[in-house]
Amino acid sequence: MNLIEIVTLLNTHHQRATYGAVGDVVGLPAQSVGQQLGPRNHLNSWVVNARRGLPTGYAQNEMHPNLLDNAQILASGEDLQAWINQHQK
């Protein structure tokens, strides 16, 4: 599964995952994930900083309005991959 597919799945299920977890799954360092995501927007805002639970450098209007509805944050590549396996169509 590639980065766009992961972000789209996170968006569909209103689920946050950390930069590190996403990086582990796609084979990128956590620091590179934000750059690879591209523009700051609602779709990409589901990938968040592990400490704050929010996407790094995003303004309020760039974050999805339902970003904080689900308290769970997938913080490891293993957890994210297991979640993906459960939610893939």
Name beta bridge partners: 18. Answer: 48
Q: Report residue 82 as tokens.
A: 């297991």
Task: Encode pLDDT of 32-87 as tens digits.
Answer: 999 999 999 999 999 999 999 999 999 999 999 999 999 999 999 999 999 999 99
Q: Is 65 exposed, middle or buried (0-12, 13-18, 19+ CB in 10 A)?
A: exposed
User: Residue 17's pLDDT is what?
Assistant: 98
CB 47 within 8 A of CB 17: yes
CB 6 within 8 A of CB 22: yes
CA distance 74 to 43: 16
Q: Report residue 2 as tokens.
A: 């590639």
